[in-house]
Chains A and B, each alone.
Chain A
C-alpha cells in the first residue's frame, strides 16, 4: 500500500505530531504508515483522508507488487 501522507502534510504544513493528534494516533504510527511499515485499518485510512478532505484513493493506492507487511 502506497500513500501520499507526507505530500498532504507538506501541503497543509503539518508535522507528524500535529496530524497524529488530529486523528488520534501516536506520531510513531504516522511515521510507520508513511514509511510503509504499517498498513492502517480502513477506518484509520478514512480518518486520514477525511482530515485532508479528499477521497481515500487520493491518499492511499493499492500496489500489487508491494504487498502488506503481514503478507511478506
Chain B
C-alpha cells in the first residue's frame, strides 16, 4: 500500500467514526462509537503495517518515543489529579461532623461535566504531543538543510 492511500484510508476512517458518533448521539447509545473507535484504530494500525513506502528509521522512532514520553509524563499527572478529585466527589460520604472540616458544602461537579473535562484533557494531550514532537524533531535535525 502506498503512503497516500494510507492517508486517504485514515481520512475515511475518521469520517466514518464521525458518522457513527453522530448516530450514537441520536440513538443515545455510546456502545456504537466505543466499538467503532476501537475497530477504526485497529484498522488504521493494520493498514499502517501494509504501507511500503513509509520510511521510518531509528531517528524518527526516537522522536516519537521522546514526544510520547514527555506528553505522558505531563498528561498523567493532570488527568490523575482531576480523576482522583472527581472520584472523591462521587464517593463523598462525610463520616465526621462536617463543621469540623468544612464551613460550607463543597460544590459537586456533575458526572457529565467531569466527562467533558476529561475529554478536553485528552484533546489537549494531542496538542501537547504535537508540540513535543515538533520540539524533538527540531532537536534531532528534522528541518536541517544541507549545502549539498
Q: Which residues of A contact B (CB under 8 A)?
A: 15-16, 24-26, 28-29, 31-32, 34-35, 37-38, 40-41, 44, 69
Contact = CB atoms under 8 A, between A and B. Distances in A.
B60 A32 contact: no
A24 B96 CA distance: 67
Interface of B: 55, 57-60, 62, 139-142, 144, 146, 148
A25 B141 contact: no
Given A32-B140, A32-B141, A38 B59 contact: yes
B140 A26 contact: no
19 contacts: A16-B148, A25-B58, A26-B60, A28-B144, A29-B58, A29-B60, A31-B141, A31-B144, A32-B59, A32-B141, A34-B146, A35-B141, A37-B139, A37-B144, A38-B59, A38-B141, A41-B58, A44-B58, A69-B140
